[in-house]
């Protein structure tokens, strides 16, 4: 435990656990007399300009003082948990850990137990934002079946930026107001969603980190520099592809006058970026890590299968609706690796077939590069299309039902191993 490397989910820079820093949390004030002889209240420990923090966020705000943790011998070697430390200025105790590179607040357990990260990436309009919310929704709902405990992290610059609160707002929008999330605005510094998954059985933990970047930023070479860090340091990646942007599917929907109100971008761009990065950095051995290649908005494939020329039998339940994962629908709660593999093979066959999706070069490329470490998934975050007002077109009882959104993550956890996922 002594020399564990922590990967900061803000700046994506790894650091040795022993280099962690602390931040003062003293909120008390004291009386101070001004030059005019008037008393005023000032903080006991005044916030200061912090270069690292301001550089990260491109701001000029003052923050509470950051200082070295000065770990004891036992803490350095991981024999003892890190105790609260006293601020060198005000002598008040704090247990708030921050990254030594960007001075952002990090979850205490990340420092205590190390961090491994799974990231979610995707091109513009690939459905990332809606997918992550649906993924969290389903994780919260089915964590027991999977033997996981899921915690939305409570760190951030302010309350709104804490994952738990970002989720609360987004969940209300999708699941109560039944509206899809809007296109993400391009910002210099997206806020990471940080979700901790811990196996109740083996106690192994991993952080699911999603930077809600506007997909456009993956297309900009300069920003790619930073985004490349995701690929370099993530143990596994979920890559979202926009199903509605596959040319064959686009054409069929247009012919049926089914309007896609979201602009469709070249869905292969993200893959080409990953491939170029992987080939340019062979030593990172990216293709030895699990990559889940996820076709989002798969409801469109199920609902238009006849026009799309494809048989979707293994995706259907007995009522001919898009079938959810077996561990959810079956009483035994066991994960079926076989079912996931079958679905992947089916998607692969659609891609290869010139009468169906006609994307042979793309699929062959992925298979050549990633082999068994890549698998295809078809998921639906919203369960149906959205209309011009972003309202989700529901079916049946009118509830929003994400389908198969957990599969990519479950497959990754099985691949990474030791998460105690029970399989058939």
Ligand X SMILES: Nc1nc2c(ncn2[C@@H]2O[C@H](COP(=O)(O)OP(=O)(O)OP(=O)(O)O)[C@@H](O)[C@H]2O)c(=O)[nH]1
Binding site for ligand X (CB under 6 A): 122, 124-130, 180-181, 183-184, 214-215, 262, 296-297, 299-300, 380-382, 384-386
Report the alpha-carbon distance of residue 170 to residue 191 in Å, rounded.
14
Report the residue number, 151 or 189, with the smaller CB distance to Zn ion.
189
DSSP label of 176? I
> Nearer Cβ to ligand X, position 323 or 415?
323
Residue 362: closest CA among 377, 350, 352? 352
Contact between 296 and Mg ion by CB under 5 A: the answer reads: no
Distance CA 118, CA 106 (A): 16
Instruction: By CB under 5 A, tell whether 386 contacts Mg ion.
Output: no
User: Could you give the C-alpha distances from 174 to 130, 145, 150, 168, in angstroms and in order?
Assistant: 8, 24, 20, 10
Say which entry of Mg ion, Zn ion, ligand X, none residue 26 contacts (CB below 5 to 8 A, set by partner kind). Answer: Zn ion
CB of 184 to Mg ion, least distance (A): 3
Helices and strands (H, E) in the chain, number of each type: 13, 19
**If binding is defined by CB under 5 A, does position 264 make contact with Zn ion?**
no
Q: By Cβ distance, which residue is nearest to ligand X?
A: 215
We find the least distance from the C-beta atom of residue 231 to ligand X, in angstroms, to be 17
Q: Which does 10 bind (CB under 5 to 8 A by kind): Zn ion, Mg ion, ligand X, none?
A: Zn ion
Question: Which CB, 23 or 184, lies closer to ligand X?
Answer: 184
Closest residue by Cα to residue 351 from 310, 403, 320? 310
β-pairing verdict for 21-23 and 66-68: antiparallel
Burial of 4 (0-12, 13-18, 19+ CB in 10 A): middle
Query: Phi/psi at 274 (nearest 5 deg)?
Result: -65, -45
Per DSSP, the three-state class of 228 is: helix
Does residue number 184 form part of the binding site for Mg ion (CB under 5 A)?
yes
Distance in Å, CB of 166 to Mg ion, minimum: 12
Least distance in angstroms from the C-beta of 328 to ligand X: 17
Site for Zn ion in 380-399 (CB under 5 A): none
Binding track over 78-107 against Zn ion, x by CB under 5 A: ---------x-xx--------x-xx-----
User: Is 346 among the residues that bind Mg ion (CB under 5 A)?
Assistant: no
Q: Which x/- pattern, by CB under 5 A, does the window 133-172 give for Mg ion?
A: ----------------------------------------
Residues in contact with 32: Cβ distance below 8 Å, sequence separation at least 6, in sequence order: 39, 40, 41, 42
Q: Which of 330, 304, 322, 320 is nearest to 377 (CA)?
A: 322
| Pairing of β 5-7 and β 96-98 | unpaired
Site membership for Zn ion, residue 10 (CB under 5 A)? yes
Q: How many residues does the chain have?
A: 424
Contact between 230 and 211 under an 8 Å Cβ cutoff? The reply is yes
Pick 100 or 408: Cβ nearer Zn ion: 100
From the list ligand X, Zn ion, Mg ion, none, pick the one residue 94 interacts with, judged by a Cβ distance below 5 to 8 Å according to partner type: none
**Tokens of residue 133, six digits:** 């919310």
Nearest distance from C-beta of residue 258 to ligand X, angstroms? 10
Among Zn ion, ligand X, Mg ion, none, the one that 99 touches (CB under a kind-dependent 5 to 8 A) is Zn ion
Collect contacts of 110-115 with beta carbons under 8 A, ≥24 apart. 110/6, 110/196, 110/207, 111/6, 111/17, 111/20, 111/82, 112/81, 112/82, 113/205, 114/1, 114/4, 114/5, 114/6, 114/17, 115/6, 115/7, 115/9, 115/207
Q: How far is the CB of 118 from Zn ion (least distance, A)?
A: 18
Tokens (6 digits) for 263: 């602009």
Least CB distance to Mg ion at residue 35 (A)? 51
Instruction: Report the residue number, 186 or 307, with the smaller CB distance to Mg ion.
Output: 186
C-beta of 99 vs 148, nearer to Zn ion: 99
| Binding track over 104-133 against Mg ion, x by CB under 5 A | -------------------------x----
- Our finding on whether 262 is near Mg ion (CB under 5 A) is no
403 binds, among ligand X, Mg ion, Zn ion, none (CB under 5 to 8 A by kind): none
347 contributes a contact to Zn ion by CB under 5 A: no
Q: Let me know the angle formed at the C-alpha of 214 by 208 and 220, rounded to the nearest 5 degrees.
A: 110
Positions in the binding site for Zn ion (CB under 5 A): 8, 10-11, 24, 26, 45, 87, 89-90, 99, 101-102
Positions in the binding site for Mg ion (CB under 5 A): 129, 184
């Amino acid at each position: 435990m002594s020399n564990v490397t922590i990967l900061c989910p803000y700046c994506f820079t790894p650091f040795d656990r022993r280099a962690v820093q602390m931040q003062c949390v003293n909120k008390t004030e004291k009386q101070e007399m001004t030059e005019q002889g008037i008393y005023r209240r000032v903080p006991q420990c005044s916030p200061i300009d912090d270069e690292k923090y301001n550089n990260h966020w491109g701001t000029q705000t003052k923050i509470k003082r950051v200082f070295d943790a000065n770990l004891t011998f036992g803490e350095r070697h991981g024999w003892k948990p890190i105790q609260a430390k006293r601020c060198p200025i005000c002598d008040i105790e704090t247990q708030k850990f921050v990254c030594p590179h960007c001075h952002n607040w990090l979850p205490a357990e990340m420092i205590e137990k190390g961090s491994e990260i799974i990231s979610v990436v995707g091109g513009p309009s690939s459905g990332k934002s809606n997918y992550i919310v649906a993924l969290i929704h389903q994780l919260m709902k089915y964590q027991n079946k999977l033997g996981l405990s899921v915690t939305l992290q409570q760190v951030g610059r302010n309350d709104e930026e804490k994952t738990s609160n970002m989720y609360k707002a987004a969940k209300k929008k999708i699941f109560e107001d039944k509206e899809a999330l809007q296109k993400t605005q391009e910002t210099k510094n997206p806020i990471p969603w940080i979700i901790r998954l811990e196996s109740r059985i083996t106690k192994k933990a991993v952080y699911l980190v999603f930077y809600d970047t506007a997909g456009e930023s993956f297309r900009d070479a300069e920003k790619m520099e930073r985004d490349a860090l995701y690929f370099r340091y993530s143990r596994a990646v979920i890559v979202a592809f926009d199903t509605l942007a596959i040319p064959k599917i686009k054409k069929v929907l247009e012919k049926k006058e089914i309007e896609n109100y979201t602009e469709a971008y070249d869905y292969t761009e993200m893959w080409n970026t990953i491939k170029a990065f992987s080939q340019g950095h062979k030593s990172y051995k990216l293709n030895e890590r699990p990559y889940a290649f996820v076709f989002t908005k798969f409801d469109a494939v199920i609902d238009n299968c006849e026009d799309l020329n494809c048989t979707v039998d293994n995706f259907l339940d007995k009522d001919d609706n898009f079938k959810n994962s077996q561990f959810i629908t079956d009483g035994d709660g066991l994960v079926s690796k076989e079912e996931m593999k079958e679905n992947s093979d089916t998607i692969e066959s659609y891609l290869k077939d010139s009468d169906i999706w006609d994307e042979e070069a793309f699929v062959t490329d992925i298979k050549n590069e990633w082999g068994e470490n890549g698998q295809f998934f078809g998921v639906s975050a919203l369960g149906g299309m959205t209309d011009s007002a972003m309202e989700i077109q529901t079916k049946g009882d009118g509830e929003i039902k994400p389908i198969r959104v957990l599969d990519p993550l479950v497959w990754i956890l099985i691949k990474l191993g030791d998460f105690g996922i029970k399989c058939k």
